[in-house]
Amino acid sequence: MKSLKGILFIVGVLVFSTLKIAHAEGVLLIVHTSQALAFHNILRNVAHVSVTPLLGDEIFEVKILSGNKEAVIETLQSLEGVTVTEDLPLPIQTQEIEFISMDTPRPANLWWQKNDGSIKYKVVKYNDKIKKFDIVREIQSVRGADINLPLAHSVERGDPSIIVGVIDSGLSLVHPAFQNSVYTNPFEIPENGIDDDNNGYVDDIHGWNFATNSPHVTDIVGHGTSVSGVIAGNTKGFQGVCPNCKVLPVIIQKEYTQESTSTTSTYLSSFLRAIDYLSRQGARIINMSFILLGDKDKPATLENPVTIIFYAGLRVLEKQGVVLVAAAGNEGQNGNSTVYPAAFRNTISVGALNPLNTWADFSNFGNWIDIMAPGEEIWTTQPFGIINWHKLLFDPDNYVPGYSYQDGTSFAAPMVAGAAGLLLSHYPRMTPQDVHATLTHPSNTNYVRSLGKPNVRSLNVYRALVNPIYVSESF
């Protein structure tokens, strides 16, 4: 069911003007300690360092001002319960995105919200000879392959106090669907060059760009806007899962900004700062439609200290009561292979369902996936409604926001994030564990044709909303 025309894949890295990167100076280490430990006193004998808390009381940034880096690392590694890594690049990957132009004559189809079985599902194959997609066959979609959203909205449409943090490519701030659903910092005066709310971020009105250390979160790629629309889009003709919730965009990847000077994706410290920011601004849910790639020397496994500290960061957030949702990834990988952050125990990992009520062929699958949600042909918001893509990328103000179909687990995860938003709106005292249990409980979810793959059930927002399950100790 790929589009036949007007497809544009954006994979490249955008490199633009100059911006001094503060990161280059001095060696930065990121240290996680599972127990309160005055390690900086111990380091005093080894080197001249400065220690700054980065996240909670467990993760610190250690800057080596003078002294031997190896000696510092060795000393830290010798301490029990301590993990240390240099502040390395953190290669992460969102999925390439399918743009379908607005003049493509296709009616909006919100099968993912409610599927009456009337839509035809086109199976297409790329024909290399004519450089087009051929329709191989058409199949009727399956009634009930949806998230049962309209009925859920008769119970709950979200509370504006519920904020969903979106770590992605930013947001189209001019899109009508977000005029009422983008988080606005009430204590910050825009564009006055002053950090009015004294949170460490100057003029952070609608989120923060941790790649450039600036308040510019305008989406020049599209991915973040499409993800955010699924969560909380709210305008005539298009409602996301939790239309009265707020989305709070943060950017951590330099590829997603015009101010990039580096091909380096992001740093571990940027991610940790971003989740700390989201939590401090009051996000109750964080959506992560990306996967950790690791690098060729060190894959993103649980042996890699970068992965370990990434996980430790998410654990801090979980303890603060933040619901973590992650896309399962689009490699179509089978079985045992795990991808992070989806495969971490404390994230709700989301695989992609298609309108035939079975696994989308690109979706990773495995027993580590908690739930499925629609992820193929997802009609949602996007920043670009006109066609001069090349020009648009260099001139993000010159566009008309619109809608398009998107494929990927990237768009399944935000359905679960939005559902978590409805739950927390309706049951404000739910813990992340309660939300996880409620959304994934067999009686609250839909049967999926598993076709030999692990039999994971799919999101049914209405069922979850009317059947809360509490697994945590009460407050």
Query: Smallest distance from the beta carbon of 189 to Ca ion, in angstroms?
Result: 4
Pick between residue 277 and residue 362 the one whose CB is nearest to Ca ion.
277
Q: Please select the residue that binds Ca ion; options are 86, 96, 159, 197, rule is CB under 5 A.
A: 197
Nearer to Ca ion, 170 or 215 (CB): 215
Nearest to Ca ion of 139, 189 (CB atom): 189
Shortest distance, CB of residue 188 to Ca ion, whole angstroms? Answer: 5
- The secondary structure of residue 313, as a DSSP letter, is H
Task: Return the number of the residue (86 or 195) whose C-beta is nearest Ca ion.
Answer: 195
Compute the least distance from the CB of residue 203 to Ca ion, in Å.
Answer: 4
Nearer to Ca ion, 201 or 384 (CB): 201
By the rule CB under 5 A, 87 interacts with Ca ion: no
Of 204, 318, 377, 434, the one binding Ca ion by CB under 5 A: 204
Q: Are 4 and 101 in contact (CB under 8 A)?
A: no
Task: Give least dist CB 217 to Ca ion, A.
Answer: 14
Residue carrying the six token digits 């580590």: 368
Task: Find the distance separating the first CA and the last CA of the chain, reported in whole Å.
Answer: 48
Q: In this chain, which stretch among 98-106, 142-150, 181-189, 239-247 interacts with Ca ion, using CB under 5 A?
A: 181-189
Residue 171 or residue 325: which is nearer to Ca ion going by CB?
Answer: 171
In the list 87, 146, 156, 188, the residue contacting Ca ion (rule: CB under 5 A) is 188
Residue 247's alpha-carbon distances to 186, 242, 375, 437, in angstroms, are: 14, 10, 20, 23
For residue 377, state whether it binds Ca ion (rule: CB under 5 A).
Answer: no
Enumerate the H helices of 88-171 as residue ranges.
149-153
What are phi and psi for residue 139, nearest 5 degrees?
-130, 145
Asked if 189 is part of the footprint of Ca ion (rule: CB under 5 A), the reply reads: yes
What are the strands, taking DSSP E only, across 289-359?
291-292, 323-327, 348-353
276 interacts with Ca ion by CB under 5 A: no
Q: How far is CA 189 from CA 2, 195, 210, 283, in A?
A: 44, 8, 19, 20
Distance in angstroms (rounded) separating the CA atoms of residues 143 and 147? 11
Instruction: Tell me the β-bridge partners of 165.
Output: 248, 286
**62 CB contacts (<8 Å, ≥6 apart)?**
28, 29, 30, 31, 40, 43, 49, 50, 51, 72, 76, 84
User: Which span (41-49, 102-110, 184-192, 457-465) binds Ca ion, by CB under 5 A?
Assistant: 184-192
| Nearest CB to Ca ion, comparing residues 34 and 192 | 192
Q: Considering the complex, what minimum distance in angstroms separates the CB of residue 213 from Ca ion?
A: 12
* Distances, alpha carbon 300 to alpha carbons 74, 122, 287, 297, in Å: 22, 36, 19, 10
Which range, of 156-164, 201-209, 325-333, 351-359, touches Ca ion by CB under 5 A? 201-209
Choice between 193 and 452, CB closer to Ca ion: 193
Q: Does 213 bind Ca ion (CB under 5 A)?
A: no
Single residue of 104, 199, 258, 261 touching Ca ion by CB under 5 A: 199
Helix (H) or strand (E) segment spanning residue 421: helix 409-426
Alpha-carbon gap, residue 348 to 437, rounded angstroms: 10
Report the amino acid identity of residue 114: K
Q: Which is nearer to Ca ion, 159 or 197 (CB)?
A: 197
Q: What is the DSSP annotation of 22-41?
A: GGGSSEEEEEEESS---HHH
Minimum CB separation from Ca ion for residue 214, in Å?
12
List 87, 146, 168, 203, residue binding Ca ion (CB under 5 A): 203
Number of residues that bind Ca ion (CB under 5 A): 11
* The one among 13, 38, 65, 194 contacting Ca ion by CB under 5 A: 194
* Residue 450 in the binding site for Ca ion (CB under 5 A): no
* Contact predicate 241/186, CB 8 Å: no
CA 30 to chain centre: 23
In this complex, which beta carbon is closest to Ca ion, that of residue 39 or of residue 277?
Answer: 277
Q: Give the residues lining the site for Ca ion (CB under 5 A).
A: 188-189, 192, 194-197, 199, 201, 203-204
